[in-house]
């Protein structure tokens, strides 16, 4: 049986919203891990297809900037849930690649603002469009009733994890990692 980070034991099964006993937590966890492996592969292929030398964590930084706009360096590290020095190293590489800029904050000279460049925005849009197309191809292979169940399950999963919902398929940055 899997244990959460706080060490408490998980129940062997959880009831679904209708009150019927659900599937074992370990079975769901295994299914999510398998699906996440597929989604990471789709993301990696989408980034590789555009020919940029950008890692998944760096791409996530670009997506956060695309979705939230320019941010103070410390806020960006917090948004990414990484140590500020890690965010700085990622940003260094993205500045060299011309995908982000660092500019001094005109209101506070001790702060640095990180913002997306035009090429950075185009990269986010292109990678996200490729990822969306590949995911749509996979989803189209599912039976319609399975698709309907998947929407509810994935929304509940994202909500339980605190992930904001994508607002529109037309806004590529809404479908990235924020």
Ordered alpha helix ranges (H), the chain: 25-49, 56-68, 73-80, 84-96, 118-140, 144-160
- Asked if 73 and 111 count as a contact pair (C-beta separation under 8 A), the reply is yes
CA–CA dist 159, 62 (Å, integer): 23
Which 3 state secondary structure label does DSSP give 34? helix
- Cβ count within 10 A of residue 114: 25
pTM reported for the whole predicted model: 0.74
List the domains of the chain with CATH numbers.
23-152+170-175 (1.10.10.10)
**pLDDT exceeds cutoff 50 at 150:** yes
- Asked if 67 and 173 count as a contact pair (C-beta separation under 8 A), the reply is yes
More confident residue, 35 or 177: 35
Question: Among candidates 69, 129, 42, 57, which has minimal Cα distance to 94?
Answer: 57
Tens digits of per-residue pLDDT, 15-46?
A: 444 444 667 889 989 999 999 999 999 999 99
Q: What's the token pair of residue 19?
A: 């009150």
Q: How would residue 11 be classed by pLDDT, with cut points 50, 70 and 90?
A: very low
Q: How would residue 47 be classed by pLDDT, with cut points 50, 70 and 90?
A: very high
Work out the mean pLDDT of the chain and round it to a whole number: 83
Q: Find the helix packing angle between 56-68 and 73-80, rounded to 10°.
A: 120
Over residues 97-112, mean pLDDT: 89
Tens digits of per-residue pLDDT, 124-143?
A: 999 999 999 999 999 999 99
Over residues 69-77, mean pLDDT: 92
């Amino acid at each position: 049986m899997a244990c959460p980070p706080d060490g408490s034991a998980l129940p062997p099964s959880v009831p679904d919203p209708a009150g019927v006993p659900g599937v074992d937590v370990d079975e769901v966890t295994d299914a999510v891990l398998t699906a996440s492996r597929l989604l990471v592969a789709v993301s990696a292929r989408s980034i590789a297809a555009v020919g940029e030398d950008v890692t998944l964590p760096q791409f996530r930084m670009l997506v956060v900037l695309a979705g939230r706009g320019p941010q103070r360096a410390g806020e960006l590290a917090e948004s990414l849930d990484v140590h500020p020095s890690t965010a700085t190293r990622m940003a260094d590489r993205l500045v060299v690649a011309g995908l982000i800029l660092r500019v001094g904050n005109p209101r506070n000279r001790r702060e640095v603002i990180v913002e997306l460049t035009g090429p950075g925005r185009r990269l986010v849009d292109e990678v996200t469009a490729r990822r969306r197309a590949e995911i749509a191809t996979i989803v189209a292979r599912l039976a319609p009733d399975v698709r309907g169940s998947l929407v509810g399950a994935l929304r509940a999963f994202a909500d339980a994890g605190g992930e904001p919902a994508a607002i529109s398929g037309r806004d590529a940055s809404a479908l990235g990692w924020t």
